[in-house]
Structure 1
Amino acid sequence: MAQCLRGKSAAAAGEAALRAAAPWQRTASASYHHTIQAVPRETAGPRAAARERRHGRIPAVLLSLAGTGPGDGVAHRKLLTADRKQLAEMLKQSPYFLSTPVRLQVRAGERSTAVVHSGTVLPIKVHRDETTGNILNLVMVQADEGTMLKVNLPIEFKGEDACSGLKKGGFLQKIRTSLVYLCPAEHIPPKIVVDLTNLDVGDRVLMHDIPVHPSLKLLSKNETMPVCKILVSKPVE
């Protein structure tokens, strides 16, 4: 009987601790990696930011555009605080964090369950400490449907194992690692894929050769610039 009571007591204590935990610490794992949990932040500046970091939180800023286009300027800046552990886990799980729209939930306070703001955002900048690599702050932009955003999309090269030019001993020269597109928020791809399968020695892939959603507009002064080439051999350094 004593063991049973102790077991019930421990379970009750565990449930109480779970209820007392911050919302991001009790969120289901499925949404944990797809929804940034944040709370409002009233003060800005280096001292306030350092205080947030000491308590395991990351200062964040949410930008809202004045219109639907990237040239419309910023209409509003909302100061927020995100949980450091959750943000670090999201960065670990998503190699394309800065090109993937995610959900944002802003609660009234750290222990509150009341949601004061929610929507889709695009993380556009993560500042890290150059020495330790620790996350210092996060910048996001509101990514409502229909909003046009300028996004730096990383390039992923695939098909190297099947590339005929590389099988002949050629060398893949990667000239660009990313391209900038103007994208509707609802059609932002996490990456741009370049297929090397059918390339032979001497072939190249130009910027405008890469297939993307028709709503995306490549932002480049010269769309005929190559993103990669198959050279006869590796260039001499």
Structure 2
Amino acid sequence: MLRFYHSPTLSRVLLHRRFSSAATAIATDPALDSVSEPLFSYLEGFPKPDPKYAETILAIPRSTSGKTICAKERKVGRVPSILFEQEDGQHGGNKRLISVRTNQIVKLVKNLGRSFFLSRLFDLEVLSDFESGDIVEKVRVLPRQIHLHAGTDAPLNVTFIRAPSHAVLKVDVPLVFRGEDVCPGLRKGSYLNTIKRTVKYLCPADIIPPYIDVDLSELDVGQKLVMGDLKVHPALKLVKSKDEPVCKIAGARVSDQQKKSK
């Protein structure tokens, strides 16, 4: 069983080979579902999911779909949802129709924030019904999409994707900007031009980061950070070019009064 450790060069090489193989053979071997030990592990110094927000999402099967059925589900306090098999790390294959409790999803999205909810793994238990507690299926999932009502932010539907240890998934990982209080450029009166709020990575399921720290503490006026500058676990792979900008310390804004004086 391969594990990743921080220092040995050999482990890095083996990890890269294992990751490349997994990325091209996602969900091709059903036997991998029985893997109990993680294939990868988080490294010291990188963000890890906060156990405070670890929660099992409860669901029940839903036999049919359609606007009328979905409206009835929402009326009784349930969110119509779909549980997909992962195929290419982003799009689903075989699916199971389910419904989850509205109040549980509302609580999770409120506590975590929408983008952080979509980058966190959860255990999901499909019950025969909410009263009996008989478990039909228990699986680890990643929320793929959530649609919220434009006026009330009430969840309209949620899409989950299975995330067993062998899965390699595309994830929009949120960025957390730090060091603004000591950033040389900002202390000179410039401002932070935030170009990206999330960055998409191909992630082994066991080490999906809850967020990525973006260090602004050494940026001066006119300097920028690109995707390749972000410090992440070596097993994560950027989906887009490493040269795409994330943020920039732009020159000081010209006030309306200054514009008039010119």
CA RMSD of aligned residues (A): 2.0
Residue pair 1:204, 1:230 contacting (<8 A) in 2 also: yes
Aligned length: 204
1:215 aligns with 2:235: yes
2:67 and 2:255 mapped to 1: Cα distance?
Answer: 47
Higher-Rg member (1/2): 1
Unaligned segments of structure 2, at least 5 residues: 1-50, 257-262
Work out which of the residue numbers 161, 186, 211 in structure 2 matches 1:166. Answer: 186
1:45 and 1:62 mapped to 2: Cα distance?
Answer: 16
Counterpart for residue 112 of structure 2: 94
Residue pair 2:92, 2:161 contacting (<8 A) in 1 also: no
Counterpart for residue 224 of structure 1: 243
Counterpart for residue 44 of structure 2: none
Counterpart for residue 19 of structure 1: none
1:35 and 1:136 mapped to 2: Cα distance?
Answer: 20
1:78 aligns with 2:100: no
Residue pair 1:145, 1:184 contacting (<8 A) in 2 also: yes
Residue pair 1:33, 1:89 contacting (<8 A) in 2 also: no
Once the two structures are TM-superposed, the CA of residue 232 in structure 1 deviates from its matched residue by 2.6
2:152 and 2:123 mapped to 1: Cα distance?
Answer: 28
1:229 and 1:34 mapped to 2: Cα distance?
Answer: 37
1:38 and 1:76 mapped to 2: Cα distance?
Answer: 18
Kindly report which structure 2 residues correspond to 1:7-26, keeping only aligned pairs within 5 A, or say none: none
* Percent identity (aligned): 38
2:199 and 2:153 mapped to 1: Cα distance?
Answer: 25
Residue pair 1:108, 1:115 contacting (<8 A) in 2 also: yes
- Secondary structure of 1:70 counterpart: coil
Question: TM-score, with normalisation over the residues of structure 2?
Answer: 0.73
Question: TM-score, with normalisation over the residues of structure 1?
Answer: 0.80
- Secondary structure of 2:145 counterpart: strand
1:38 aligns with 2:56: no
Q: Which amino acid aligns with 2:168?
A: M
Q: Which amino acid aligns with 2:108?
A: M
Higher-RCO chain (CA-CA 8 Å, sequence separation at least 6): 2
